[in-house]
């Protein structure tokens, strides 16, 4: 544990704001974890289509975290946009004052700011990375200019902290060299905890962005349709922004009595719903390390997930099942197995989450890296 309280600048390309309220909420949870033992200032800049003036700054405080967000007027001229972002960055820096270490989140393009702080203010930086865009085939969309500068940004960092080894391997394959040190996502284990009472009828739950190309919601519905032939009394909760887009599909499959479509819910409500459910399902085509799987473990709720990205790195065999992507039959079969007499140890699942993903665990891992960054030469 760090004796001296550090001031950490969270430099964030993604972060919840009035424009995108849920964007990068996993980064916010990392900031909250670090804020358990340090002072944290969050710096975020985002374009706002409703803005009339060039820049508007919003400052808020929650516990040991101060959030500084600059909203930028949308402009067509790309050079003017760059100049506005640069001006906003300097305005926010002036308000934040001095700090010890930069914690960069989403390394491009905000990594330019991290380089500036290192070269001109001698501030070391580490990088947290969660982006699925570094995996093939999505990585084919990364342009030459972005690749060139990303290589520079990673090379000059003290540590690169992907949430999984799988993401690390994808980044290295793209030529992004550096000192890698895996740090997973964080879970509020005081909020996500086992429930003494499960739902009366068998309950399957899924919570996500509800993007079908990513999360394969249609695949879940088709598998559940087959499940319904064997089991009549059950419910499927689909939770997330734009969940109502699947209303017609649910109706066409004859699942209207079984499926509940819920819009984005507060974190506390998600925790309650997962803890009361019998199984969480993630049927994604690609991932890194989804927070919601770790949160389900913390709730003592078993998980059925596709074996993609870095999920298997933190998925004990006795906590659920990993299946191949797009394998609807496997999903149906495993749902039937769990609906039968399969038993899971809720306490073991929760304790596993506490040891590996709690705020204290993640904060300690980052604190060690902050100290090394401060004490080692650039």
Judge if 136 and 259 occupy the same domain: no
Q: Hey, what's the torsion of the CAs at 119, 120, 124, 125, to 10 degrees?
A: -80
Tokens representing residue 266 in the block: 């507060």
Judge if 105 and 28 occupy the same domain: yes
Return the CATH number at 353: 3.40.50.2000
Closest CA to 103 of 188, 19, 183: 183
Laid out side by side, the sheet with 279-282 consists of: 259-262, 234-239, 202-207, 279-282, 303-306, 320-323
Cα–Cα distance, 280 to 320 (Å, whole number): 9
Q: Which residues contact 100 (CB under 8 A, 6 or more apart)?
A: 6, 7, 8, 123, 370, 374
Q: Is the pLDDT of residue 295 over 80?
A: yes
Cα–Cα distance, 246 to 209 (Å, whole number): 13
Q: What is the SS3 assignment for 20? A: coil
- What is the percent of the chain with per-residue pLDDT over 70, rounded to a whole number? 98
Judge if 310 and 166 occupy the same domain: no
Judge if 172 and 23 occupy the same domain: yes
Q: Is the pLDDT of residue 6 over 60?
A: yes
Q: Give the pLDDT score at 378.
A: 62
Judge if 179 and 37 occupy the same domain: yes
- Band the pLDDT of 373: cuts 50, 70, 90: very high
What is the helix, strand, coil percentage profile of the chain, to 5? Answer: 45, 20, 35
Q: Calculate mean pLDDT across residues 247-262.
A: 97
E-state strands within the chain:
7-12, 39-48, 55-62, 65-73, 101-105, 125-129, 159-162, 202-207, 234-239, 259-262, 279-282, 303-306, 320-323
Q: Give the pLDDT score at 340.
A: 78
CB atoms within 10 A of CB 239: 21
Judge if 172 and 227 occupy the same domain: no
Q: Is the pLDDT of residue 343 over 90?
A: no
Judge if 179 and 206 occupy the same domain: no
- Contact present, 302 and 325 (Cβ < 8 Å): no
CA atoms within 13 Å, Cβ hemisphere of 212: 12
Q: Give the pLDDT score at 341.
A: 67
- Contact present, 128 and 30 (Cβ < 8 Å): yes
| Domain that includes residue 220, residue range | 202-357
Judge if 252 and 300 occupy the same domain: yes
pLDDT tens digit sequence for 179-230: 999 999 999 999 999 998 899 999 999 999 999 999 999 999 999 999 999 9
Cα–Cα distance, 226 to 327 (Å, whole number): 13
For residue 44, being part of any structural domain is answered with yes
Backbone φ and ψ for 244, nearest 5 degrees, come out as -65, -10
pLDDT tens digit sequence for 108-165: 999 999 999 999 999 999 999 999 999 999 999 999 999 999 999 999 999 999 999 9
The pTM (predicted TM-score) of the whole model is 0.92
Judge if 219 and 130 occupy the same domain: no
For residue 290, being part of any structural domain is answered with yes
pLDDT tens digit sequence for 62-111: 878 999 999 999 999 999 999 999 999 999 999 999 999 999 999 999 99
For residue 229, being part of any structural domain is answered with yes
Cα–Cα distance, 80 to 89 (Å, whole number): 14
Q: Give the pLDDT score at 3.
A: 57
Q: Is the pLDDT of residue 2 over 50?
A: no
Cα–Cα distance, 356 to 360 (Å, whole number): 9
Cα–Cα distance, 95 to 147 (Å, whole number): 32
pLDDT tens digit sequence for 52-64: 999 999 999 987 8
Judge if 368 and 292 occupy the same domain: no
Number of domains within the chain: 2
Q: Is the pLDDT of residue 1 over 70?
A: no
Return the CA Rg of the chain.
22
Tokens representing residue 271 in the block: 């925790």
Q: What is the SS3 assignment for 36? A: coil
DSSP secondary structure letters along 177-220: -S-B--------TTTS---SS--SSEEEEEES---HHHH-HHHH
For the chain, the residue count is 378
Judge if 29 and 174 occupy the same domain: yes
Q: Give the pLDDT score at 217.
A: 98
Cα 292 versus chain centre, distance: 8
pLDDT tens digit sequence for 234-249: 999 999 999 999 999 9
């Amino acid at each position: 544990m760090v004796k001296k309280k550090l001031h950490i600048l969270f430099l964030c390309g993604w972060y919840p704001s009035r424009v995108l309220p849920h964007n990068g909420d996993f980064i916010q949870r990392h900031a909250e974890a670090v804020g358990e033992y340090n002072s944290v200032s969050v710096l975020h800049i985002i374009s706002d289509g409703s803005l009339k003036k060039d820049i508007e700054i919003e400052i808020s405080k929650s516990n040991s975290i101060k959030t500084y967000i600059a909203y930028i007027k949308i402009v067509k001229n790309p050079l003017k946009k760059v100049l506005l972002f640069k001006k906003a960055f300097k305005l926010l820096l002036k308000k934040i004052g001095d700090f010890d270490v930069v914690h960069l989140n989403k390394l491009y393009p905000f990594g330019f700011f991290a380089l500036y702080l290192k070269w001109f203010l001698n501030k070391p930086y580490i990088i947290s990375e969660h982006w699925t865009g570094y995996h093939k085939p999505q990585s084919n969309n990364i342009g030459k200019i972005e690749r060139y500068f990303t290589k520079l940004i990673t090379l000059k960092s003290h540590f690169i902290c992907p949430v999984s080894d799988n993401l690390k391997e994808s980044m290295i394959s793209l030529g992004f060299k550096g000192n890698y040190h895996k740090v997973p996502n964080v879970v509020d284990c005081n909020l996500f905890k086992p429930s003494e009472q499960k739902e009366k009828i068998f309950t399957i739950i899924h919570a996500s962005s509800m993007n079908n190309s990513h999360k394969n919601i249609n695949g879940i519905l088709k598998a559940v349709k087959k499940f319904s032939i064997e089991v009549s009394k059950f419910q499927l909760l689909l939770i997330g922004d734009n969940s109502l887009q699947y209303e017609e599909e649910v109706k066409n499959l004859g699942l209207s009595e079984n499926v509940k479509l819920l819009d984005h819910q507060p974190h506390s409500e998600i925790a309650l719903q997962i803890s009361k459910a019998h199984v969480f399902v993630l049927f994604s085509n690609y991932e890194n390390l989804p927070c919601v799987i770790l949160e389900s473990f913390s709730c003592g709720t078993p998980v059925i997930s596709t074996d993609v990205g870095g999920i298997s790195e933190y998925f004990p065999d006795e906590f659920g099942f990993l299946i191949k992507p797009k394998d609807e039959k496997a999903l149906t079969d495993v749902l039937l197995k769990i609906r039968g007499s399969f038993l899971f140890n809720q306490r073991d699942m929760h304790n596993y989450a506490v040891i590996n993903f709690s705020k204290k665990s993640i904060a300690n891992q980052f604190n060690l890296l902050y100290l090394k960054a401060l004490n080692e030469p650039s």
